[in-house]
Amino acid sequence: MVSAQLAHGAWVVFVYLVVLWTPGLALAHALRARGWTLIGVAPLVTYGVAGVVGPLAALAGVPWSATTYLTGTAVLVLAAAGLALRRPRSRSSDAAGWSTAAHLGVAGVLTLAAMVGGAVIARAMSDLAAVPQDWDALFHANGIRYLSDTGDSSLYGMSTVNWFEPGTAVFYPNAYHLLGAVVYQLTGASIPAVLNAHTLLIPGLTALALVVLIRRLGGRAVLAGGTAIVVVGLSALYDMLWRGPLLPYATAVALTPLVVVMLFDLVDATSVRDRVRCGGLVAVGLAGLVCLQPASLFGAVLFGAPAFLQRWWIRPRLVVSDAPLVILAGIAAAVLTTMQLTAGLGSAGDLDAMDWPADLPPKAALGEFLTFSHAAATPQVWIVVAVLAGLLAYRRLGDLRWIGAVAAAFGMLFLVAASSDAPWANSITRFWWNDRWRLIGPAAIALAVVAGHGLAETQRWIVTAAGRMRRRDRSGPPRRLAIAGHATVAVSVLTVFAVLTGGLYLNRNTTRMAVSFAPGPALTPDEVVGLHVLADMARPGARVLNDRGDGTAWMYALTGLHPVAGHYNAAKVGPEATLLAERFNQYPHDPAVRAVVGQLGIRYVILSESFLRPEAHRQPGLVGLDDAAWLERVYHNSDVVIYRIKSDVAAGSSGD
Condensed to tens digits (0 to 9), the pLDDT of residues 575-589 reads: 999 999 999 999 999
- Is there a single domain that holds both residue 407 and residue 539? no
Strands 640-645 and 631-636: antiparallel
- Is there a single domain that holds both residue 230 and residue 360? yes
| DSSP helix/strand/coil, 47 | helix
The predicted structure's pLDDT at residue 656:
45
Taking the complete model, does pTM exceed 0.85, yes or no? Answer: yes
What does DSSP assign to residue 602?
Answer: -
The predicted structure's pLDDT at residue 81:
87
Dihedral, CA of residue 379, residue 383, residue 387 and residue 388, to nearest 10: 70
454 inside domain:
no
Q: Which of 360, 388, 418 is the last residue of a domain?
A: 418
Does residue 316 register a pLDDT over 60? yes
pLDDT (average), residues 325-330:
97
34 inside domain:
yes
pLDDT (average), residues 119-137:
94
Does residue 39 register a pLDDT over 70? yes
More confident position, 251 or 475? 251
481 inside domain:
no
Q: Which residues of 61-99 are buried (b: 16+ CB within 10 A; e: fewer)?
A: ebebbeebbbebbeebbeebeebeeeeeeebbbbeeebe
pLDDT tens-place string over residues 420-465: 999 999 999 988 999 999 999 999 999 999 999 999 999 999 998 8
288 inside domain:
yes
The predicted structure's pLDDT at residue 6:
76
- Is there a single domain that holds both residue 414 and residue 529? no
The predicted structure's pLDDT at residue 149:
96
Minimal CA–CA distance to 406: which of 336, 308, 521?
Answer: 308
- Is there a single domain that holds both residue 385 and residue 270? yes
Does residue 216 register a pLDDT over 80? yes
State the total domains in the chain: 2
- Is there a single domain that holds both residue 407 and residue 529? no
- Is there a single domain that holds both residue 244 and residue 392? yes
- Is there a single domain that holds both residue 404 and residue 545? no
| DSSP helix/strand/coil, 628 | coil
- Is there a single domain that holds both residue 531 and residue 384? no
Question: Could you tell me the residue range of the domain that residue 369 belongs to?
Answer: 2-418
Number of Cβ within 10 Å of residue 393's Cβ equals 15
Q: Which of 418, 441, 472 is the last residue of a domain?
A: 418
CB within 8 A of 470, min separation 6: which ones? 476, 477
6 inside domain:
yes
Q: Which of 418, 446, 463 is the last residue of a domain?
A: 418
Does residue 57 register a pLDDT over 90? yes
182 inside domain:
yes
- Is there a single domain that holds both residue 92 and residue 218? yes
The predicted structure's pLDDT at residue 352:
46
Number of Cβ within 10 Å of residue 345's Cβ equals 11
448 inside domain:
no
Helix count (H) and strand count (E) of the chain?
26, 5
440 inside domain:
no
